[in-house]
Amino acid sequence: MINSLFLISHSGDIFLEKHWKSVISRSVCDYFLEAKEKAGDPENVAPVLQTPHHYLISIYRGKLFFLSVTQTEVPPLFVIEFLHRVADTFQDYFGDCSEVLIKENTVTVYELLEEMLDNGFPLATESNVLKEMIRPPTILRSVVNTLTGGSNVGGTLPTGQLSNVPWRRAGVKYTNNEAYFDVIEEIDAILDKSGTTVFAEIQGVIEACVKLTGMPDLTLSFMNPRLLDDVSFHPCVRFKRWESEHVLSFIPPDGNFRLMSYHVSSQNLVAIPVYVKQNISFLETGSCGRLDITIGPKQTMGKTVESLMVTIPMPKSVLSVNLTATQGTYTFDLTTKVVLWDVGKLNPQKLPNLRGSISIQTGAPKPEENPSINIDMKLQQLAISGLKVSRLDMYGEKYKPFKGVKYVTKAGKFQVRT
């Protein structure tokens, strides 16, 4: 099981350690730092490392490494999942998962880690349960605490842990009862030079924000549940009901949670909202090249493409670019060599275009690789897979809740090869 956790900044500074069993010297991190040095880019550090006496399993989140040390055979996915959960919890508690915030809240962090793991076994990882035991710091509460001498630590037993619904705390009360569901879909796609789809899939999630009094039992049904053949559910969802009736039946946790995630992979179902006409070329002689990109709408299902953003990582030998954008603004980062073009809303009448020249270091050879173009965008009120919620029913409580469903489609890893 998990022995120890080290938090390491991306510059390699170990700023927090927590041991759940015997103390392991922080010198064990040297193996990791060595691997990090070798990998260059922090994202490229292999997540599972072996040292003579320990195994180091790490994740990289928010420019921080969460490095766990184990001594025995453990399922690495278990450790990685847990580390992500730790990062999620920090984010949930402090608004972000950064070195500064963690240092500001060390005692809370320490208390949280103590509650989340016992002797290496996960103890309480549900945010509902944790919040019952350790209250998240808020400005108001810290003021109140200083005045009254109250504390962040709850004195009650986390009752949810014992019931059949360990994810929900008991005795929830709201004056406004509301339940919101966001259907968020991300398109992962690779398009080749000519615009043909090499690969495309949709990663969808349903994020819920449920603030309902008591123990409500909800049933969410879809117009077209057959779309969903590859799903993963929050533990609260009754799998049997899904298998037999294709409805989501559950007692929700209190607050924000991810109800389900799904995956639509059959390619004909994946609509590609934009097309990209591009030409990036480097001249064989002389140290320059040309760039010309136009973006137009393709299958947008009648919605407007918003927050359109184009990222082009240029070859390292590129010195500067001189471009003109017909819409939006562009920037070129001299150190990372990334062209970032913030287009904004896509107007089908007047297609945005970015063109101009690229200059390369004199004497450098013609770059061998072709940059890929990364597209970011958003389409409101649309789940591109066509998924639609038909109704939400509540049982077990008398009151009438306020219900809402929102759809949004975004680009995930949407890449165009050149």
Partner 1 sequence: MTDSKYFTTTKKGEIFELKAELNSDKKEKKKEAVKKVIASMTVGKDVSALFPDVVNCMQTDNLELKKLVYLYLMNYAKSQPDMAIMAVNTFVKDCEDPNPLIRALAVRTMGCIRVDKITEYLCEPLRKCLKDEDPYVRKTAAVCVAKLHDINAQLVEDQGFLDTLKDLISDSNPMVVANAVAALSEIAESHPNSNLLDLNPQTINKLLTALNECTEWGQIFILDCLANYTPRDDRESQSICERVTPRLSHANSAVVLSAVKVLMKFMEMLPKDLDYYGTLLKKLAPPLVTLLSAEPELQYVALRNINLIVQRRPEILKHEMKVFFVKYNDPIYVKLEKLDIMIRLASQANIAQVLAELKEYATEVDVDFVRKAVRAIGRCAIKVEQSAERCVSTLLDLIQTKVNYVVQEAIVVIKDIFRKYPNKYESVIATLCENLDSLDEPEARAAMIWIVGEYAERIDNADELLESFLEGFHDESTQVQLQLLTAIVKLFLKKPTETQELVQQVLSLATQDSDNPDLRDRGYIYWRLLSTDPVAAKEVVLAEKPLISEETDLIEPTLLEELICHIGTLASVYHKPPSAFVEGSRGVQHKRLPGSAGSGESVESPDTGSAAGVSDAPPAVIPSQGDLLGDLLNLDLTPPATTGPPPPATSGMQLGAMDLLGGGLDSLLGGDLGGSSAMGAGFGAPPAAPAASFSAPVSGGLDDLFDLGGGVGMPMGAYSPPKTVWLPAMKGKGLEISGTFARRAGVIQMEMTLTNKAMSVMTDFAIQFNRNSFGLAPAGPLQVLTPLSPNQSIEVTLPLNTVGPVMKMDPLNNLQVAVKNNIDVFYFSCQYPISMLFVEDGKMERQVFLATWKDISNDNEAQFQIKDCHLSSDAVSNKLQGSNIFTIAKRTVDGQDMLYQSTKLSNGIWVLAELRVQTGNPTFTVCLKCRAPEVSQCVFQSYDAVLKN
- Tell which positions 231-260 bind partner 1, by CB under 8 A: 231-235, 239-240, 242-243, 258, 260
In whole angstroms, how close is the CB of 159 to partner 1 at the nearest point?
9
- DSSP 3-state of 280: strand
Q: Whole-angstrom Cα distance, residue 10 to residue 7? A: 10
Q: Supply the DSSP symbol for 318.
A: E
Nearer to partner 1, 41 or 349 (CB): 41
53 is an interface residue for partner 1 by CB under 8 A = yes
Beta strands in 155-304 (DSSP E): 178-191, 197-211, 217-222, 231-233, 247-250, 255-264, 274-282, 288-297
144 is an interface residue for partner 1 by CB under 8 A = no
Q: End-to-end CA distance of the chain: give it in Å, rounded.
A: 46
Residues 33-52 interacting with partner 1 (rule: CB under 8 A) = 39, 41, 43-44, 46-48, 50
Tokens for 219?
């049933």
**Binding segment for partner 1 among 196-204, 215-223, 351-359, 396-404 (CB under 8 A)?**
196-204
- Do residues 170 and 159 lie in contact, with contact meaning Cβ atoms separated by under 8 Å? yes
Nearer to partner 1, 80 or 392 (CB): 80
Nearer to partner 1, 240 or 398 (CB): 240
- Do residues 109 and 141 lie in contact, with contact meaning Cβ atoms separated by under 8 Å? no
- Do residues 57 and 32 lie in contact, with contact meaning Cβ atoms separated by under 8 Å? no
**Binding segment for partner 1 among 70-78, 282-290, 291-299, 324-332 (CB under 8 A)?**
70-78
CA atoms lying within 13 Å on the CB side of residue 283: 13
160 is an interface residue for partner 1 by CB under 8 A = no
Nearer to partner 1, 244 or 349 (CB): 244
Residues 296-315 interacting with partner 1 (rule: CB under 8 A) = 313, 315
Kindly determine how many residues on this chain lie close enough to bind partner 1 according to the rule CB under 8 A. Answer: 105
Q: Supply the DSSP symbol for 361.
A: -
Nearer to partner 1, 110 or 402 (CB): 110
**Binding segment for partner 1 among 350-358, 375-383, 400-408, 410-418 (CB under 8 A)?**
410-418
Q: Supply the DSSP symbol for 70.
A: E
